[in-house]
Amino acid sequence: MLRDISIAIGPGTPEWPGDIPYSCGWTWQIARGASVNVSAITTSPHVGTHADAPYHVHDGWPASDALPLDVFTGPATVCAFDQLHALRSTRVERLLIRTGRSIADGAFPTSWPALGVDQVQTLLRAGLRLLGVDAPSVDARTSTALEVHHALFSAGAFNLENLDLRAVPDGTYELLALPIKILGIDAAPVRAVLRDS
């Protein structure tokens, strides 16, 4: 069974406050006499489900087109935030956390639970390569230092943000979440899917 855990991007998809929201215009439309429909979209790559590139938090670090594909495919553990203590002694390469504060509900959340940098460092030492969350950021809503982002990227690990994990029970799955190859920017949209293992 395939489970789509991506946020649909369209008019009204919540964006980070102050960021560029999604909008769509039409270059050609069949209804207006053209032979095809051709759209043109404007949006931040952080709207909807996406992978941040290290360049997002540090000039000179790799951009979106350098995101390594192998990190975004493979076994992944889904866990509710309040159940993370059960993973203390488990090696997890890909961890997807359900905070219950997702934009999938149609509004940008005012806050969400986030791992502390010490918790992330412990997971990294145990082999974490990818941290995903259903929230808009792996860091806390009010963070400007973005310590979790820096810890992940400094260790050669990556993140996924704005996942839709509402209907996914805790457990292990196969993750398929390839970032779109866009040159030189700070993040890449992702179509994220879990396959039951």
Contacts of 19 (CB under 8 A, 6+ apart): 44, 46, 47
Residue 46 annotated in active site? no
| Domain 2-6+49-196 fold | Glucose Oxidase; domain 1 (3.50.30)
Is the confidence at residue 54, as pLDDT, over 80? Answer: yes
pLDDT in tens, 8-18: 999 999 999 99
114 touches 132 (CB < 8 A): no
User: What angle do the packed helices 117-125 and 147-154 form, to 10 degrees?
Assistant: 20
Give me the pLDDT at residue 52, please.
98
The separation between CA 28 and the C-alpha centre of its own chain, rounded to angstroms, equals 32
Q: Using an 8 Å Cβ cutoff, are 177 and 193 in contact?
A: yes
Of 91, 97, 94, 90, which is closest to residue 116 (Cα–Cα)? Answer: 97
Among candidate residues 172, 191, 169, the one with its CA nearest the CA of residue 180: 191
CA distance 97 to 83: 9
Specify the pLDDT at position 38: 98
Residue 175 has pLDDT above 80, yes or no: yes
H/E stretch holding 149? helix 147-154
Q: Which residues contact 165 (CB under 8 A, 6 or more apart)?
A: 5, 78, 96, 98, 102, 134
Could you count the other beta carbons within 10 Å of the beta carbon of residue 17?
Answer: 8
| pLDDT value of position 87 | 83
Q: What is the CA radius of gyration of the chain?
A: 17
Q: Of these residues, 56, 58, 149, 150, which one is catalytic?
A: 56
Q: Which tens digit of pLDDT belongs to each residue from 146-159?
A: 999 999 999 999 99
Rounded CA gap, 180 and 126, in Å?
28
Q: From CA 131, how far away is CA 138, in angstroms rounded?
A: 8
Whether residue 197 has pLDDT greater than 90: no
pLDDT at 98: 98
